[in-house]
Amino acid sequence: MARRATAVFLACLYTLGVAPAGARASAAPAGGSAHCAADDATSRAASHTSGHVAVRRRGPGGLTHAVEPHEPDPAEVARMEEDLRRRLSARPGGGYVPGADSAAVGPGVPMAPVATATPGTPAASGVPGGAGTATQAGEEIRVPMWVHIIRDGALGLPDSAVTRQVATLNAAYSGSLGGVDTHVRFVLRGVTHTTDRQWFRDPLGHEAAMKKRLHIGGQDTLNLYVAQLGELVLGYATYPYWYADDPDLDGVVIDWRSVPGGPLREFDKGFTAVHEIGHWLGLLHTFENGCQTPGDAVDDTPFEAYPTTGCPARKDSCSATGDDPLHNYMDYGQDRCMREFTSGQAVRIRQMWDAYRRPGAPGALKGQSAATPLTTAQPM
């Protein structure tokens, strides 16, 4: 409750344009605005349907992003990290090895033909190294992907934009735009189409109904819902750790205007999906925990006190070594500012994939969360 109240308050400050970027706690505001009321209603609706949502937002006017209202709080992040740590230590030779996945760039994955889909149809997994095996460093993680287009009449994502968005995902995750090759590739399995004015206008408020109707596949299948989000919000995602508790809610929602070539100024390169899918794969914001250890739990992204807005030439918000990673996809800069994942993030993605998302991953099973002791007998 406190987390949500704080988030709503901060969102209001951003709407008013008076908050210091990244402020996580300060005195209550003296007044509100229509924006605040709308945001509060959105937040309540989202909390009602799911407490497990992380949101990328766009700020008003010259600002870029506000604080995410459903971002996991520090205690939840700590639980996620502890669960991952236990799963890694339980497997033979397990443990975090920074840079272990910085192998040479591999070949891209050709696009799969777009199929027509019937919602609720299970999708076959295209992931190599099937149940019971961990992936090897450098091995491609092929993510089967379904795109669910929600429309209101003629308004919404055109089909022609789907291939552009998937291509951007593969470009970003392969390092062809900058940074490392994470060895994650997205393979489009199909597209569903739904015409629903309410879902289109307020996917956050109708999240449970929408996802239960449309969600396809298991923990390894990315479901990308494309609708229109309300004031300030660009997209939101669920984390791998949450899958076991509510599989139907797993997935990513983005604003259709944020796709490559879309009409959303400064957020029109398709990096909203890159960012949100980063969360879906288990990455935290680069400014997670501010200047405090463990930061974002990745060794090669310098600490960052608060999110980046716009695209400054340079930013160094913590006394620890290293400028802020303002070009990282997991910061909050404008799309023109984003261009890279790091080796450490690639390692974390693979660890998360092995623990929670690959077929047979024990972390995807209910009752196998951090509270349950793990044994080496469990396949990882």
> Segment near Zn ion (CB under 5 A), from 49-57, 170-178, 219-227, 263-271?
49-57
Binding-site size, Zn ion (CB under 5 A)? 1
72 or 360, CB closer to Zn ion? Answer: 72
State the nearest-atom distance from the C-beta of 82 to Zn ion, in Å.
21
Q: Out of 276, 288, 304, 340, which one is annotated catalytic?
A: 276
Does the annotation mark 207 as catalytic?
no
State the nearest-atom distance from the C-beta of 54 to Zn ion, in Å.
5
State the nearest-atom distance from the C-beta of 86 to Zn ion, in Å.
25
> Segment near Zn ion (CB under 5 A), from 52-60, 73-81, 98-106, 348-356?
52-60
Residue in the shown chain whose Cβ atom is closest to Zn ion: 56
Burial of 187 (0-12, 13-18, 19+ CB in 10 A): middle
State the nearest-atom distance from the C-beta of 378 to Zn ion, in Å.
30
> Segment near Zn ion (CB under 5 A), from 53-61, 90-98, 187-195, 217-225?
53-61
188 or 283, CB closer to Zn ion? Answer: 283
Of residues 52, 56, 65, 189, which one binds Zn ion by CB under 5 A? 56
Taking CB under 5 A as the rule, does residue 211 contact Zn ion? no
Residues contributing to the site for Zn ion (CB under 5 A): 56
**Residues with a known catalytic role:** 276
